[in-house]
């Protein structure tokens, strides 16, 4: 399917370059209307992300992992799949959550430290935020297996980072995905670092995409800052999966323009010049250039859209701050459908401890 872009031959799928010039290759791409929707989605993700960081700096948000620079991966991947398809995220995918329709309130609630943020509703077909690196890739294969078994018309997009590909869980997930030919797309956002560890120290292979061939299926490396390349790759992989063609690995070659999380100081492990070079490849900027060139937007409009999102974000975060704190039971309640006896015993023990403490 991606034979013109074999990563083992050093080829990368790229359609919309950093100057905002589109070179179609005959494959599926977003229409101009689709690009406008993509731009608004990416802009919304960028504003939400910037504001989340600022809330954390004001001491109002617990912690937050910024996605700045990775928007095209996240908006493109969701635009290329159907409502009924699954998203299995890690922790840096706020853009994908938003594009899938989850209200911002829930996402912020989760980063505010309240697990109820992960309970927006089953209709979104999103798994909760997963912090244990790459563990979610196994869950994605499980869902893929279930979709295939139940003959449901649904594919699964599983996200992980470049660092995630070094985890054992990732290899196990890839292996079973290949053996069972499940409808799963592994989308790696290769943002070049796993916290401070550069991609070159993660693996000796040239690209992460080529690892797929060792598991018996196709992998493709794409320009992850190019919304059209992301859309095309995910669309083709999803169509293939729907038609029984099994899994695909997509490596979105991208860059995290901000810190790993709000607890990280990236100036300690990467140079300003490197960041500045990637800023020139900013996915939002290049799409803006394309749309401005085509006179589909004006600079004033983009400013107005940002303002609208800022208001939305402010309202959502005020609602989060006004929401009640989670109860002690919540910590025990959400691991199992029915609380097992051992957990119940621990809960009772903790309640008794709190009561004793209150009486002292
Ligand atoms: C199993 C496990 N080991 C270690 C960690 C600590 N940890 C948190 S983020 C991270 C780096 C992950 O990097 P990558 O997969 O490239 O994703 P990115 O954060 O760059 O999006 C590590 C090692 C963890 N959360 N889970």
pLDDT in tens, 67-108: 999 999 999 999 999 999 999 999 999 999 999 999 999 999
Structure tokens at 326: 């989670």
Residue 233, CA atoms < 13 Å, CB-side half-sphere: 41
Q: d(Cα 185, Cα 355) in Å, to the nearest integer?
A: 49
Banded model confidence at residue 263, pLDDT cuts 50, 70, 90:
very high
For ligand 1, mutation pick of 139, 163, 164 (most atoms within 8 Å of CB): 163
**Cβ-Cβ contacts under 8 Å for 111 (sequence gap 6 or more):** 52, 61, 62, 63, 64, 117
CB 287 within 8 A of CB 36: no
Ligand 1 atom with least separation from CA of 195: 11
pLDDT at 352 over 90: yes
pLDDT at 137 over 90: yes
Strands (E), the chain: 86-88, 156-161, 184-190, 193-194, 197-198, 218-223, 248-253
* CA 163 to ligand 1 center in whole angstroms: 6
End-to-end alpha carbon distance in the chain? 69
Among 128, 124, 175, smallest CA distance to 154 is for 124
The reply to whether ligand 1 has any atom less than 6 angstroms from the CB of 195 is: yes
pLDDT at 331 over 90: no
Q: For the chain, what is the largest distance between any 2 Cα atoms, rounded to a whole number of angstroms?
A: 74
The structure's pTM equals 0.95
pLDDT at 327 over 90: no
Q: d(Cα 77, Cα 229) in Å, to the nearest integer?
A: 10
* CA 299 to ligand 1 center in whole angstroms: 37
pLDDT of residue 329: 84
């Amino acid at each position: 399917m991606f034979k013109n872009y074999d990563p083992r031959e050093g080829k990368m799928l790229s359609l919309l370059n950093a100057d905002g010039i589109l070179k179609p290759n005959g494959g599926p791409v977003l229409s101009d209307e689709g690009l406008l929707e993509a731009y608004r989605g990416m802009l919304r993700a960028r504003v939400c992300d910037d504001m989340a960081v600022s809330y954390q700096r004001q001491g109002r948000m617990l912690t937050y992992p910024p996605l700045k620079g990775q928007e095209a991966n996240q908006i493109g991947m969701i635009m290329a799949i159907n409502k009924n398809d699954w998203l299995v995220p890690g922790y840096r995918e706020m853009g994908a959550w938003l594009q899938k329709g989850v209200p911002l309130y829930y996402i912020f609630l989760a980063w505010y430290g309240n697990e109820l943020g992960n309970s927006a509703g089953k209709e979104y077909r999103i798994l909760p935020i997963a912090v244990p690196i790459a563990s979610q890739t196994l869950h994605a294969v499980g869902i893929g297996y279930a979709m295939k078994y139940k003959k449901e018309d649904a594919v699964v997009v599983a996200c992980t980072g470049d660092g995630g590909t070094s985890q054992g869980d990732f290899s196990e997930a890839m292996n079973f995905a290949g053996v069972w030919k499940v409808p799963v797309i592994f989308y790696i956002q290769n943002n070049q670092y796993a916290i401070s560890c550069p991609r070159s120290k993660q693996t000796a292979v040239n690209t992460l995409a080529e690892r797929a061939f060792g598991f018996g299926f196709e992998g493709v490396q794409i320009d992850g800052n190019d919304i059209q390349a992301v859309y095309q790759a995910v669309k083709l992989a999803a169509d293939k999966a729907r038609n029984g063609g099994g899994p695909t690995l997509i490596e979105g070659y991208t860059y995290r323009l901000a810190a790993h999380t709000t607890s990280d100081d990236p100036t300690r492990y990467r140079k300003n010049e490197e960041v500045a070079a990637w800023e020139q490849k900013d996915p939002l900027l290049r799409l803006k250039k394309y749309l401005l060139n085509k006179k589909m937007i004006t600079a004033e409009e983009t400013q107005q859209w940002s303002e609208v999102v800022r208001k939305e974000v402010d309202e959502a975060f005020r609602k989060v701050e006004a929401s009640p704190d989670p109860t002690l039971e919540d910590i025990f309640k959400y691991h199992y459908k029915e609380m097992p006896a051992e957990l119940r015993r621990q809960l009772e023990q903790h309640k008794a401890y709190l009561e004793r403490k209150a009486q002292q």
